């Protein structure tokens, strides 16, 4: 399938400027063809106008049509074939197996959203029947359910070019809710973005969905994304990336004349606590699992464990030695793009100069800067070192972590209180450990969206129950997830109908309940008709 490098606006190719850029192969430094054109203000306006026009048509489509559209997207992702995976690999340095796994994840979550909207209970339909005889005032007929917001802006993530980009849960949850999407492609993998966009258009054509339901805008700088968030007809936006980038766009969204929700997934240190019982009984296994989690994807996951805490003891020293040995055996690997590589190198240099940190170990093989390779690094400090320099708790994106020696449970509790929000917190322990550290666990529950016991934060399970979010700075809205079917809640709002004629109500609120969705009727869950 040919890659044009142009904007794809409601299925049409456009290029209103000669200003362009190319993607690079991070492993070789070679520029990849073709050139991609920068979206202009006029093209941004055109894309949002097309989305707004499509909104009224798309939201009124039968739920089955929207579900069929999502299933068709899943089908068309496979139709892209090996060419899609090869382009993704060339733009990211990821091996083909990793790209294939991401494709599978995108297909699975797309079908999950299709099944979710067919089932219908996500709408949270509620009916309180009238009582004209109630005193002192008659009770009205009140009904409500979730309805889509309108055109949504989505930003592709650099570290998941398939599963958190054009084909990610942000896009699919918006489609499932009834919202059109205008996406800002990531400049590090623009070809992957375009191929994915073409799969969406093929699915729209198959299912009779208006092409304006989706547009892809390309751009290497911040201007396109900023203008998109500022557009008055954009009703919400979703972003995965750096704290600096997410916070800047969050501020733009809130400084609009009419602010909009901006759902950003940003920095997360994902602390891992090892309690005494587990440290004594399973140090080798924990060390192996930790290093695997730290270096998976070359540390380029939002859930890599960036800090590990344990009580100073012989068992802790044994654990530290095991981790050092395993980190030194990790071969350097290519990072996603030059920007991430530069930030990682700079962060490592800064930490090596920090008097409160000591280098415990790093990859024994030297990285090749020409291939944007990163070495794995492990630092160590004490609880007092963190007190002296709280910036040591900041995320460094890449295969780097810090072991923190604590003097006992009081030190752990003090450190837990000083933590900022994270996407995950992991605890390794025995049942007795948990009983002995209830105060610690109580604090950690306030610091994260996902509390893991005797596991590791990478390898996120994409399912209905998952919550991939957390208190700031992990995300801008800790109530919401960017992974799993609850992600649909970001792009809907409740609408209430009072004393409305039955035939003019949304079908899920009508007395007969023709779709058979689960509803709350006078405070009780049921699928029964009124």
Q: How many CB atoms lie within 10 A of CB 232?
A: 11
**What's residue 367's pLDDT?**
97
The answer to whether 452 and 303 have CB atoms below 8 angstroms apart is no
The pLDDT of residue 17: 82
Q: What is the pLDDT of residue 451?
A: 97
Q: Judge contact between 217 and 43, C-beta under 8 A.
A: yes
State whether the Cα torsion 251-257-261-263 is positive or negative: negative
Q: Residue 266 is encoded by which pair of tokens?
A: 């940003």
Chain center to CA of 384: 33
Give dist(CA 35, CA 11) in Å, integer. Answer: 19
| 186, 243, 250, 347, 395 from 266: Cα distances, Å | 16, 5, 11, 17, 10
Compute the distance between CA of residue 512 and CA of residue 504 in angstroms, rounded to an integer.
Answer: 13
Nearest to 324 by CA among 380, 273, 368: 380
User: Nearest 10 degrees: CA dihedral of 404, 406, 411, 413?
Assistant: 60
- Comparing CA positions, the residue from 270, 273, 304 lying closest to residue 473 is 270
Query: In this predicted model, what pLDDT tens digit does every residue of 120-170 receive, in sequence order?
Result: 999 999 999 999 999 999 999 999 999 999 999 999 999 999 999 999 999
Quote the DSSP letter at residue 453.
Answer: E
Both tokens of 353, joined, read 């100069």
Residue 181 to residue 184: CA distance in whole angstroms: 10
Interacting residues of 478 by C-beta distance below 8 A, sequence separation 6+ = 421, 449, 469, 470, 471, 472
Residue ranges of alpha helices (H) inside 218-376 are 223-230, 243-255, 276-295, 314-328, 338-352
Three-state SS letters, 11-35: CEEECCCCCEEEEECCCCCCEEEEE
Are the C-beta atoms of 123 and 150 separated by less than 8 Å?
Answer: no
The pLDDT value given to residue 267:
85
pLDDT score of 246? 96
Q: Please list the residues that pair with 426 across neighbouring strands.
A: 272, 452
CA–CA distance, 157 with 171 (Å, rounded to integer)? 12
Q: Which of 150, 182, 179, 152 is nearest to 166 (CA)?
A: 182
- Count of CA atoms in the C-beta half-sphere (13 A) of 486: 14
Q: Which domains does the chain have, with CATH numbers?
A: 7-15+30-115+150-266+478-490 (3.40.605.10), 272-453 (3.40.309.10)
Q: Where are the beta strands (DSSP E) in 58-173?
A: 126-128, 142-148, 152-155
CA distance 519 to 530: 10
Give the per-residue SS3 of 490-514: HHEEEEEEECCCHHHCCHHHCCCCC
Give the C-alpha separation, 295 to 398, whole Å: 8
Q: What is the pLDDT of residue 392?
A: 87
- pTM attached to this predicted model: 0.96
Q: Which residues are catalytic?
A: 265, 302
Residues of the chain with pLDDT under 70: none
List, for residues 12-27, the tens digit of each pLDDT value.
999 888 899 999 999 9
- Tokens 């587990």 sit at which residue? 278
Give the model's pLDDT for residue 15.
86
DSSP string covering 312-339, please?
SSHHHHHHHHHHHHHHHTPPPEE-SSHH
């Amino acid at each position: 399938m040919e890659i044009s490098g142009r904007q794809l606006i409601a299925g049409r190719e456009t290029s209103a400027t000669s200003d362009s850029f190319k993607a690079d192969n991070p492993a070789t430094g070679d520029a990849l063809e073709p050139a991609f054109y920068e979206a202009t203000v006029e093209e941004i306006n055109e894309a949002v106008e097309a989305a707004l026009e499509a909104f009224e048509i798309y939201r009124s489509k039968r739920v089955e049509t929207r579900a069929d559209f999502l299933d068709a997207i899943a089908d068309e992702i496979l139709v892209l074939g090996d060419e899609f995976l090869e382009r993704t690999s060339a733009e990211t340095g990821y091996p083909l197996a990793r790209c294939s796994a991401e494709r599978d994840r995108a297909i699975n979550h797309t079908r999950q959203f299709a099944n979710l909207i067919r089932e219908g209970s996500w709408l949270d339909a509620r009916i309180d029947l009238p009582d004209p005889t109630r005193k002192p005032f008659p009770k009205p007929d009140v009904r409500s359910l979730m309805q889509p917001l309108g055109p949504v802006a989505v930003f592709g993530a650099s570290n998941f070019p398939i599963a958190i980009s054009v084909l990610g849960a942000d896009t699919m949850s918006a489609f499932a809710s009834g919202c059109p999407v205008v996406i800002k492609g990531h400049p590090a993998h623009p070809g992957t973005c375009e191929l994915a966009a073409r799969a969406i258009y093929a699915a729209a054509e198959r299912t009779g969905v208006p092409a304006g339901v989706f547009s892809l805008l390309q751009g290497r700088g911040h201007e396109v994304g900023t203008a998109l968030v500022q557009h008055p007809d954009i009703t919400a936006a979703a972003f995965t990336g750096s704290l600096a980038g997410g916070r800047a766009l969050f501020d733009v969204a809130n400084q609009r004349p009419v602010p909009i929700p901006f759902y950003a997934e940003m920095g997360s240190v994902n602390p891992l606590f090892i309690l005494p019982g587990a440290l004594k009984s399973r140090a080798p296994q924990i060390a192996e699992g930790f290093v695997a989690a730290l270096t998976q994807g070359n540390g380029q996951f939002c859930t890599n464990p960036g800090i590990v805490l344990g009580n100073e003891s012989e068992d802790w020293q044994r654990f530290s030695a095991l981790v050092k040995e395993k980190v030194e055996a990790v071969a350097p690997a290519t990072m996603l793009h030059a920007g991430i590589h530069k930030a990682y190198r700079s962060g490592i240099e800064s930490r090596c100069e920090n008097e409160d940190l000591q280098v415990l170990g790093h990859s024994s093989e030297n990285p090749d800067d020409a291939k944007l390779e990163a070495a794995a690094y492990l630092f160590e400090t004490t609880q007092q070192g963190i007190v002296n320099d709280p910036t040591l708790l900041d995320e460094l994106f890449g295969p780097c972590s810090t072991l923190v020696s604590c003097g006992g449970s009081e030190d752990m509790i003090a450190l837990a209180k000083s933590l900022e929000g994270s996407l995950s917190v992991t605890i390794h322990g025995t049942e007795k450990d948990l009983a002995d550290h209830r105060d610690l666990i109580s604090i950690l529950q306030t610091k994260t969206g996902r509390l893991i016991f005797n596991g590791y934060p990478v390898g996120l399970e994409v399912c209905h129950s998952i919550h991939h979010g957390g208190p700031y700075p992990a995300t801008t809205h800790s109530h919401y997830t960017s992974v799993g079917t609850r992600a649909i809640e970001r792009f809907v709002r409740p609408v209430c109908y009072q004393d409305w004629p039955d035939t003019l109500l949304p079908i899920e609120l009508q007395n007969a309940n023709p779709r058979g969705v689960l509803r709350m009727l006078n405070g009780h869950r049921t699928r029964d008709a009124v």
